[in-house]
Amino acid sequence: MIDRHRLIVVLLVLAAVLRAVTMAGYSPAWLYWYDSFSYLDVAARPRPSLGFHPSGYPLFLWLLRPLRDVTVIVGVQHLMGLGIGLMIYAVLRRDGLPAWGAALAAVPGLFDASFLRLEHAVLSDTLFLFLVVAGLALLGWSRRPPVGMCAAGGAALALAALTRTIAAPVLIVVLLLLAVRRFGVRRLAAVAVAGALPLVAYATWNAGVNGRFTLAGGEGVVLWARTMTFADCSVIKPPPEEAPLCPNGAYQSAASEYVWDPAASLNRMPGGRDGNNDLARSFAIRAIVAQPLDYLRAVARDTALTFPWTPVRHPERVTPAFGFSRGEWPLRDDALVRRVRRDYGPSVQALRSAEPYAGFLMAYQYPAYVRGPMIAVILLLGGLGAIVRRSALLPWAAAMVLLVGPVAVLDFDHRYVLPAIPVACLAAALGTAGLVDTVRRHRTRRAEPAPASAQTFESRPSRLSRRA
């Protein structure tokens, strides 16, 4: 059996070595202000969050909390990274692809340096991607998977939505596509019920604790920030209570920056962004309805930042993509940081690089990076292939939602592009196989001799010739 899967075994071993080098080169883990500490704080005292993120990832951290070591967290996430590659390979082999083709589709997620760095951070992205790929793998395992497998797939996508809310539209799109495919009433119901129950349960918990039946807070604030790149209140004509949310001359190089800009109109209102989420949502919807073409142009413009060869600085203050470097990154002296350090003990400390591992990763990250044009080709192959191979449509649609969704509700971020890449690779492999099969069938039909009934009049011997 190993001989049949020798290639993926070799790739997984090499990918595991890279992850071991990452853990040796950077200790203990990347901890980002404010997200990482917020996740760890909620994990210490589990509760539904009214911040920008639901509590799915903190609940995962809570499961690991008895070990009181952030190194364990990133170690588990590195294993998830290997698991993502293995799931992609398994689904493609199940669908009939050769071992080399299935293994090739797993390569970007296994070897792109950006994934190594993301897995080594206390951030929700790796768990989110693992759950999305698991859900798609379960639902795409066969044309008619067992009902239990369908329920598990829907539950995985629901848990992904509790990790990052952008998976909720992925779940909706999946349900629509499965219905179009005539997936079967029982299977479709299993996906829908298993997908809805965790979301309803979490929203009910949130309503009981925070008084709001929702997955996360701040959705109105981020959508308002999206509109700040194009909103024109002379066109929108907002009511008096929303007029203070109009652009006030504050300029930022990216929509997401308006969320944090103290000079932005929302943050200058009484209550700021925390107290005006519903008003901000109302203004944003009004702006999108009044200026739909401007909104679509803004989304298209920022989504296009995915595709240049050299990563674009967006916002201008950040250095995109290549994050491995040498040094020490001290923690902030802040009440939240002190509380997290008390709960997790000595493992929460400044990140330090170590040689020669950090030097190797700094050199490795430049060639080991999926460039923008490569992403465009991967998406194109998946989209074209989905026309002729139905199994490619589900992961391709999910990849497009993962790519465009964050831009549509807030902004482009190089980090937000990463979850779309392995899913798009899954779609591209299936789609390419479909395109190749279609070309082969077409050539076979052209090469086959025409049946006798289809011979031309000239090719048949005449009666006179037969008599002669």
Domain boundary among 320, 354, 371: 371
How confident is the model at residue 321, as a pLDDT?
A: 62
- Do residues 148 and 242 both lie within one domain? no
Separation between Cα atoms, residue 195 and residue 400, nearest integer Å: 20
Least confident interval from 129-133, 272-276, 350-354: 272-276
What angle, rounded to 10 degrees, do the helices at 420-447 and 99-111 form?
160
Higher pLDDT among residues 296 and 34, named by residue: 296
pLDDT band at 317 (very low <50, low <70, confident <90, very high): confident
E-state strands within 6-133: 26-27
Whether residue 157 is found in the same domain as residue 200: yes
Whether residue 241 is contained in a domain is answered as: yes
Question: Is 139 within the bounds of a domain?
Answer: yes
What average pLDDT score do residues 70-89 get? 97
Q: Which two tokens stand for residue 344?
A: 């997790």
Q: What is the pLDDT of residues 207-248, one digit of tens each?
A: 999 888 999 888 999 999 999 999 999 999 999 999 999 999
Same domain, 230 and 363: no
User: Is 356 found in the same domain as 265?
Assistant: no
Domain membership of residue 154 (yes or no) is yes
Residues 176 and 256 in one domain: no
**Residue 360, Cβ neighbours under 10 Å: how many?**
16
Distance CA 10, CA 20 (A): 15
| Partners of residue 27 on adjacent β-strands | 352
Amino acid identity for residue 173 in this structure? V
Q: Which of 371, 387, 420 is the last residue of a domain?
A: 371
Per-residue H/E/C for 277-315: HHHHHHHHHHHHHHCHHHHHHHHHHHHHHHCCCCCCCCC
Q: Is the distance from CB of 36 to CB of 122 less than 8 angstroms?
A: yes
Confidence band, pLDDT 50/70/90 cuts, at residue 22: very high
Task: Give the pLDDT confidence score for residue 462 in this predicted structure.
Answer: 41
Q: Which residues of 301-338 are buried (b: 16+ CB within 10 A; e: fewer)?
A: ebbebbbeeebbebeeeeebbebbeeeeeebeeeeebe
Mean pLDDT on 81-98:
96
> Is there a single domain that holds both residue 180 and residue 116?
yes
Q: Is the pLDDT of residue 167 over 60?
A: yes
Q: What is the pLDDT of residue 168?
A: 95
Confirm whether 256 is domain-assigned: yes
* In a shared domain, residues 82 and 183: yes
223 plus 205 within the same structural domain: no
What is the rounded distance in angstroms from the CA atom of residue 236 to the CA atom of residue 64?
Answer: 49
pLDDT at 426 over 90: yes
Contact 29/78 with Cβ under 8 angstroms? Answer: no
Which residues constitute the domain of residue 270?
Answer: 219-298
Query: Does residue 442 belong to any structural domain of this protein?
Result: no
**Together in a domain, 109 and 35:** yes
Statement: residue 457 has pLDDT above 80: no
- Count of domains for the chain: 2
Six token digits for residue 334: 């802040």
Domain contains 19:
yes
Do residues 50 and 87 both lie within one domain? yes
The reported pLDDT for the residue numbered 460 is 45
Q: Are residues 149 and 107 both part of a single domain?
A: yes
DSSP 244: G
Write the pLDDT tens digit of every residue in 115-143. 999 999 999 999 999 999 999 999 999 88
In a domain, 149, yes or no: yes
Does residue 321 form part of some domain? no
* pLDDT for position 272: 86
The domain boundary, picked from 280, 298, 316, lies at: 298
In this structure, the answer to whether residues 83 and 125 fall within a common structural domain is yes
